[in-house]
Amino acid sequence: MAEPKISLVVADDHALFREGVLAILSTVDDIDVVAEAVDGTAAVAAVAEHRPDVVLMDVMLPEMNGIEATEACLAAHPDAAVVMVTMMDDPETVFAAMCAGARGYLVKGADRITMLSAIRAAARGEVLFSAGVAGRVLEFFRANADAERRARPFPELTDREYEILTCVADGSSNDQVGRRLGLSAKTVANNLSRVFTKLQVTDRAQAIVKAHRAGIADQPEPR
């Protein structure tokens, strides 16, 4: 028995792009374009009417932009998988699309294989970004993580070391920290040893005092 086709709505205000997508999809048997839309309002209406598996959504649509249209589409039809297609690959736009619920993000000009892979992956419930976009997403999150680390006390500590210090500052033993974080007591001890070195302290009590003074925990300092 043949697998059911992936139903698709194409939402883009550029006729040339829509025609190019249709030309690509005419070469495959597993994807069926059920509607086209030239603005965000029409895209929402098409999704409500046809309840497609996947929506190819341009970010820069008239009347209602692609981000807003994605949110509206998913509010009405949560099972739809939206793949954003746009000329804009800046991290902020990608992040906005992700927050809106998009499962993929392609830059216009992506090759045939990449586009088909994104549609099929979205239909399976997976998330797929083209290579260039994926790199920008990673850079965006890495930069944000680095900024958060610099803003907190003891930025020289890794995330794991900081997490362990926080637990220790709350009065937890190595065994308790291990159970809380899913680590062995030995792993906790090794990380804690590196914490002592980086904080330039010689023992647990001094580390706790330093953590409390930095505002990591609200418990009284050990005497």
DSSP string, 140-153: HHHHHHHHHHHHSS
C-alpha dist (Å) from residue 11 to 46, 67, 89, 117, 159: 9, 12, 18, 18, 42
User: Which one-letter DSSP state was computed for residue 3?
Assistant: P
Residue 52's CB is within 10 A of a number of other CB atoms, namely: 25
| Under 8 Å between Cβ of 119 and 54 | yes
pLDDT, position 101: 87
Which residue ranges in the chain fall short of pLDDT 50?
Answer: 218-223
User: How far is residue 22 CA from its own chain's centroid?
Assistant: 29
pLDDT, position 143: 61
pLDDT, position 152: 78
Residue 197's CB is within 10 A of a number of other CB atoms, namely: 11
pLDDT, position 126: 87
pLDDT, position 148: 62
Residue 196's CB is within 10 A of a number of other CB atoms, namely: 16
pLDDT, position 210: 87
pLDDT, position 132: 60
pTM confidence score: 0.60
Sign of torsion over alpha carbons 217, 199, 176, 146: positive
pLDDT, position 19: 92
